[in-house]
Amino acid sequence: MNVLKKIIMLLFSLLIVTAIFSISGCGSDNSTNSHIYDKAKIEDQMNGLGNKKIGKISVIKINSTDITQENLEDWYFNYALKHVETNGHKVEGEKYAYCLIIYKDKPDMGIAYNGVLSKDVQIKKDKSGYSIGNNGQILIPTNDNHLKEFKVEKKN
């Protein structure tokens, strides 16, 4: 009888531990608590000659197909805005000149935020860091914390 009680207690303990790990997402790469910015690497931003550090850049490398509206908005509102300082927006803590998401599956393309959020924009690495093109889709925040494309309406 004593052995049976020990086995039951052991099984009950294993059940509790399994439940805790399941709730917390431990042991799972698909945890709902993960963010694309968890994989950000911080790189030095250099001057035009490439011989003097003038700031920092946050870089995330990910496939373009892994970017969803939800994780893009999470990155913008909960990461990029908290690290990039602009004239009208001051940040506390770690400051970056800009935050980049570089597509692994599309050479020299990605998403950039340096006060303006550009999606599917040209991003090229050079000796000073990265240069950002002006060919992307501009996204702006809405009042309800979403992102939408900025469009200029043409008047006839």
Q: Quote the CA–CA distance of 52 and 48 in Å, as a whole number.
A: 9
CA distance 40 to 60: 5
Domain ranges within the chain, ordered by starting residue:
36-149
Using the 8-state DSSP alphabet, how is residue 64 labeled? G
Q: Tell me the H-state helices in the chain.
A: 2-24, 69-75, 81-83
Place of tokens 């400051």: 95
- CA–CA separation, 99 and 91 (whole Å): 14
pLDDT on residue 88? 76
**Number of Cβ atoms within 10 Å of the Cβ of 94:** 10
Neighbouring residues of 124: CB distance < 8 A, sequence distance ≥ 6:
108, 130, 131, 133
Which residue from 53, 61, 44 is spatially nearest to 100, judged by alpha carbons? 61
Start-to-end C-alpha separation, the chain: 90
* pLDDT, one tens digit for every residue, the chain (156 residues): 576 666 665 555 544 544 444 443 333 344 457 999 999 999 999 988 889 999 999 999 999 999 999 999 999 999 999 999 887 778 888 999 999 999 999 999 999 999 999 999 999 998 788 999 988 999 999 999 999 999 877 776
Confidence at residue 155, expressed as pLDDT on a 0 to 100 scale? 77
pTM: 0.75
pLDDT number for residue 89: 76
Contact 44, 58 (CB under 8 A): no
- In this structure, the strands spanning 53-62 and 98-103 are parallel
Q: What is the predicted pLDDT for the residue at 10?
A: 52
